[in-house]
Amino acid sequence: DLGALGPAVFSTSGDHYPSARQVPQLRDVVGHGTLGLVMPKNRFTRRYQELDFDPNKARDVDWVSGAMIWLRRSALDQVGGFDDDYFMYVEDVDLCWRLGRAGWRVAYEPSGSVIHLGAVSTQRHPYRMIVAHHRSLWRFAVKRWTGVKKILLIPAAIYLSFRALTLIGFKALSLRRMSRPLKK
C-alpha cells in the first residue's frame, strides 16, 4: 500500500531538485560529506543526491522531500507521525524511513510538480541552520545504524562537527566578501 507520495520539485530558476531518493549508505554519506564541497560531481555525491536517476520516471524510493508530500492518514497514524525531536531537516527522511519499515510504499510521481522557494525559513540564521541540519543528520544516524555501524558514530560525530564548522567558515567568508564595497 502507498503510504507517501512526492511530486517533482523544481527551484524558482527551473532546476530539478533531487527530491526523491534512497536512504544513503554510510560510504555515500562520508564520501559526499568529505568530497562534496570540493568535487560536487564525485560518485558518492552522485549516489547520495541520486543525480543520475531519470526525473521524468515514476518509481518507488526510500524517501521524498517534505517540501511537498502527500501522506495516507492511516500510514501516518501507524508510525506516529513526524518525530518531534527534529527541529528542521531530515524529518521527512525519518518519516519515510519509518513508513518503509512498517511496510508502506513511498513513491515519486513526476506528473505532479511544485516550485520550492528553498531556504526562506533559514536565510535569517544561516549558521544556526547549518548546526540544526547536522544535528538532524546525527539524530537520524543514531536511530538508523545498528551493530558495528553504531561504533562508527563517535568518529561520525567528530566529522559532522568539523564539517559544520567548515561550512560555517565558508558561509562567513562569502558573507564577508559580499559585504565589501566595490572597488572603483
C-alpha cell at 49: 543526491
Q: How far is CA 14 from CA 10, 54, 109, 117, in A?
A: 6, 16, 18, 11
Q: 117 lies in which domain range?
A: 2-179
Is 184 inside a domain boundary? Answer: no
Residue pLDDT, tens place only, 55-105: 999 999 999 999 999 999 999 999 999 999 887 888 999 999 999 999 999
**Residue ranges, the chain, pLDDT below 70:** 119-127, 149, 151-161, 163-165, 167-168, 170-184
Domain count within the chain: 1
